[in-house]
Amino acid sequence: MVSRFSFAVVFVVLLLYQELQFIKAQSWIRAGYWYSGTGFPVSDINSSLFTHLICAFAEVNPSTYELSITPDDEKSFSSFTNTVKKKNLSISTLLSIGGSAANSTVFKLMASNVSSRKPFIESSIRIARLYGFEGLDLAWVSANTSSEMSNMGNLFEEWRKSAKSEVAENSSSSELILTASVKFRPSMDFTSYPVESIRSNLNWVHVLPYDNTTFPRRNSTASHAALFDPSSTVNIDDGIKEWIGSGIAANKVVLGLPFYGYAWTLKNPNDSASITFTGPAITSGGDMSYKDIKAYIKRNGASVKYNSTYEVNYCTVGSTWIGFDDVQVVTIKVAYAREKNLLGYAVWQVADDDNWVLSAAAAGKFNYIYRDSWPSRDRDTSELFQGNAPDLQVLSFDDIELATGRFSIENKLGEDFGMARIFSKDEFEVNTRRIVGTYGYVSPEYARNGFYSTKSDVYSFGVLLLQIISGKRMACLYGEHENLILTEYAYELWNEGKGMEFADPFLNDTNYVGKILRCIQIALLCVQEDANDRPSVMEISSMLKKDTALAIPKRPAFSRNQVVQNSNGHTMQHERWSINEATISEVHGR
C-alpha cells in the first residue's frame, strides 16, 4: 500500500507543477478577435479560454483623423471590457482599428504627416482609457507602398512615445499595449514592413497567415492557411521564418489562426487536397465559418479528412470541396507556435467557432469538452481528494508525446527522483546497504553515511523544484566561471537578489515574480546541508499554499565553498561527494 508520505510527495509535486504551469501560461498569449459586424453578443464569449480579447473595429474620421466608433458599435464597445471580465477577471482587452474593410485612403492620409497622426494617436489613447481597454491594435492591412510603410513606422514611434508620456503623467495606469496586425510575411513586391520600428515600439504583431491562396490567383484548391507547402513559399512556416529572419524576435510574433475555411466547386470531384476547381461554392466568395462548415458536414454526412503535406483538414460532398482547420490542425499549429518560441496565437474570429471546440483545442483544454461524458471519473477524483485538490488538467498520451518530441532524450529534464522509496506506516528513517540514484539528487547524509530518512526525499524534491523553475539540468555547471552546481548557482543568484535570473524565461511575468521567488526560496530550504534544517513534506505543502514567512536558507549541500563546524569546533571544508562511491552502511535497528 502506498504510504501517506509517498502520496504527499507526489501531491506536492503536482501542486507545484500546476502552479508553475499557470504562471508560465500567463506569458503565452491566447488572443481572440471579436468582430462587431457578426452580431455575436459579447456576453456569449467564453472569455475563460483566452488571455486577450480584441474588439474590432474602430474607424478613423476622414475629416479630423481622430479615432471614431460608429453609433451602432458605441454600446458594445464601451461595455466590452466590463462584459468579458465578468467571466475572466484577469483577461486583457484591446481595441483594434481598421481592418480589411477600412478606407485605405483615409489611413494613408492620416499617417502621412505628424499633424494628422497626432489627433489619431491622442484620441486612440483617450478612447482606450475611457472604455477600459488595456491596449490598441492597428489593422492597417492595405498598406503596400514604401511611403505608407515608412509613415507606419513613424506612427508606431510616435504612438509609443505618447503612451509612455500618458503613463508618466498618470502613474496609476499601466502603459498601453500596442500591437499591429500584419501580413504573413514582412516583404512585399516593392516594399517591406518597418521592422525596426515594430521591434522598438510594439509589444507584438499578429501575423495573419491566411487568405494566401484565393481563387482569383489560383485555379486549384489549396489551404488558405497552409502550415507547409513543398511547392510554394506561400505558407505559414516560410512566412514566420521570414519575419524572424527580418529581425523581429520570435517572442514578438503572435500567430493568426483562422476559424473559417473556403468551399470550391470541383471540375472533377476527387479526394486530393489540391485539385482543379471552377469557382467558389456554397457562398458567393466561398468563405464559410467553422460553425457553418461543421453544420454542412453534419447535414450531408460527410467525413473530415486530413492532409499532412499542407497540414489542412478538408471534406468533399459531391462536387464541393471545403478546406478548413479542424481540431487536429489547430492543435498542430499551436504546437508549431510553441516549438518556434512564438508569443502565442490570435484567432479570427471567436464568433466563427462551433460551441468553442476550436478555442478549447487551441487553449489545450480540449479534454474538458467531454467532461460530462466522464461522470464516474470526475466522481472518483472528487472522492479521492475530498474536493480540496487543484483542478489538474487531463493530458492524453498524444498530448505528452507531442510536448516531449516523441519522448526525445534531448527533452528529458530529470533523471529520476533520487532515493525515493515507499515507507511502511510507522517508518520514518532507514539504513541501507546500497547506494543508488542520480548525481545531485542524493542527500548529503545518504551520500556520505548511507543514512536515509524522509528528509532525504525532501532534498531530492528541492533539486527537482529548482529544475522545474529553471529548466536546467543537474549534470551541468553554471555561473560566471561555470563551476557551480545547480543548487549553489540558484543560491548565489537568490542571495544576491537576482533570483529571477535563475528562472526559465517563460516564467518571466512581472505579475508572478513574488510566487516564483518564493518557490526558489522553498527549494533552497529543501537542499540545506543539515536534514534538521529542511522542512517536512507537510510544511512544504503549507508554504506553497500560504503566504507565511519563510526561513532564510543556508548554503546548499555540496557547495564548493561551504564551511561548517566539525564535532571539535573546528571549521572544515565540505568535500564534493560522488554517489558512485561504494560505501556500505551498517545495518542496525532504530
Give the pLDDT mean for 278-297: 94
3-state SS, residue 26: helix
Of the listed ranges 315-324, 336-345, 346-355, 407-416, the least confidently predicted one is 407-416
In angstroms, the CA 47 to CA 81 distance is 11
Q: Could you check whether the bond before residue 50 is cis, i.e. omega within 30 degrees of 0?
A: no
Residue 494 pLDDT? 92
In angstroms, the CA 241 to CA 528 distance is 46
Q: What integer best gives the mean pLDDT of the chain?
A: 80
Domain membership flag for residue 544: yes
**Shortest CA distance to 418 belongs to which of 398, 399, 376, 446?**
446
Domain membership flag for residue 185: yes
In angstroms, the CA 481 to CA 369 distance is 51
The domain that contains 423 carries what CATH number?
1.10.510.10
The tens digit of pLDDT for each residue in 246-256 reads: 999 999 999 99
The tens digit of pLDDT for each residue in 220-247 reads: 556 788 999 888 888 999 999 999 999 9
Sequence-distant (≥ 6) Cβ neighbours of residue 258 within 8 angstroms: 210, 211, 224, 225, 325, 347, 348
In angstroms, the CA 194 to CA 146 distance is 9
CB count, 10 Å around CB of 224? Answer: 22
Q: Express as a percent the part of the chain with pLDDT over 70.
A: 74
Helices (H) then strands (E): counts for the chain: 19, 19
Q: Are residues 62 and 211 in the same domain?
A: yes
Domain membership flag for residue 289: no
Query: Taking CA 500 as the corner, what is the angle to CA 519 and CA 252, rounded to the nearest 5 degrees?
Result: 120
The tens digit of pLDDT for each residue in 427-453 reads: 444 454 444 444 577 888 888 777 778
How many structural domains is the chain composed of?
A: 2
Q: Are residues 355 and 445 in the same domain?
A: no
Domain membership flag for residue 72: yes
Residue 147 pLDDT? 97
* Final residue belonging to a domain, choices 337, 368, 399: 368
Residue 12 pLDDT? 54
Q: Are residues 477 and 545 in the same domain?
A: yes
Q: Are residues 205 and 350 in the same domain?
A: yes
In angstroms, the CA 60 to CA 71 distance is 14
**Shortest CA distance to 203 belongs to which of 252, 133, 157?**
252
Q: Are residues 496 and 351 in the same domain?
A: no
Domain membership flag for residue 321: no
Q: Are residues 424 and 451 in the same domain?
A: yes
Domain membership flag for residue 18: no
Q: Are residues 445 and 331 in the same domain?
A: no
3-state SS, residue 273: coil
In angstroms, the CA 226 to CA 483 distance is 47
Q: How far is CA 442 from CA 66, 140, 419, 531, 582, in A?
A: 66, 58, 7, 12, 14
For residue 204, give the H/E element and its range. strand 204-208
The domain that contains 121 carries what CATH number?
3.20.20.80
Q: Are residues 348 and 448 in the same domain?
A: no
Residue 221 pLDDT? 56
CB contact at 8 A, 218 and 43? no
> pLDDT grade, residue 567 (50/70/90)?
very low
Residue 16 pLDDT? 56
Q: Are residues 163 and 49 in the same domain?
A: yes
The tens digit of pLDDT for each residue in 360-390 reads: 999 986 543 323 332 333 333 333 333 444 4
Give the pLDDT mean for 352-361: 95
Domain membership flag for residue 580: no
Eight-class DSSP state of 551: P
More confident residue, 126 or 497: 126
**Shortest CA distance to 315 belongs to which of 357, 372, 266?**
266
Domain membership flag for residue 170: yes
- Whether residue 131 is predicted with pLDDT greater than 90 in this model: the reply is yes
Radius of gyration of the chain (CA): 29
Q: Could you check whether the bond before residue 349 is cis, i.e. omega within 30 degrees of 0?
A: yes
The tens digit of pLDDT for each residue in 73-122 reads: 999 999 999 999 999 999 999 999 999 999 999 999 999 999 999 999 99
As to burial, measured by CB atoms within 10 angstroms (0-12 exposed, 13-18 middle, 19+ buried), residue 518 is: middle
Strands 344-348 and 320-324: unpaired
In angstroms, the CA 193 to CA 206 distance is 13
More confident residue, 251 or 583: 251
- Whether residue 415 is predicted with pLDDT greater than 60 in this model: the reply is no
From first CA to last CA, the distance across the chain in angstroms is 23
Tracing cell 517591406 back to the chain, one arrives at 192
As to burial, measured by CB atoms within 10 angstroms (0-12 exposed, 13-18 middle, 19+ buried), residue 569 is: exposed
- Whether residue 464 is predicted with pLDDT greater than 60 in this model: the reply is yes
Measure the CA dihedral 567/569/575/579, to 10°.
Answer: 20
Measure the CA dihedral 208/214/220/224, to 10°.
Answer: 20
39: left (phi over 0), alpha (psi -120 to 50) or beta: left
The tens digit of pLDDT for each residue in 5-61 reads: 444 555 555 555 554 544 444 489 999 999 999 999 999 999 999 999 999 999 999
Q: Are residues 517 and 556 in the same domain?
A: yes
* Final residue belonging to a domain, choices 342, 368, 394: 368
The tens digit of pLDDT for each residue in 157-193 reads: 999 999 999 998 876 789 999 999 999 999 988 899 9
Q: Are residues 136 and 247 in the same domain?
A: yes
DSSP line for 423-450: PPTT--EEE-S---S-TTTS-HHHHHH-
Alpha-helix runs per DSSP H in 185-339: 195-201, 236-245, 290-300, 327-339
Q: Are residues 220 and 337 in the same domain?
A: yes
Question: Which range of residues forms the domain containing residue 67?
Answer: 28-259+326-368
Give the pLDDT mean for 492-507: 87
Residue 385, amino acid = F
Residue 371 pLDDT? 30
Eight-class DSSP state of 232: -
CB contact at 8 A, 178 and 156? yes
Query: Taking CA 407 as the corner, what is the angle to CA 405 and CA 410, rounded to the nearest 5 degrees?
Result: 75
Residue 411 pLDDT? 56
Q: Would the pTM count as exceeding 0.85?
A: no
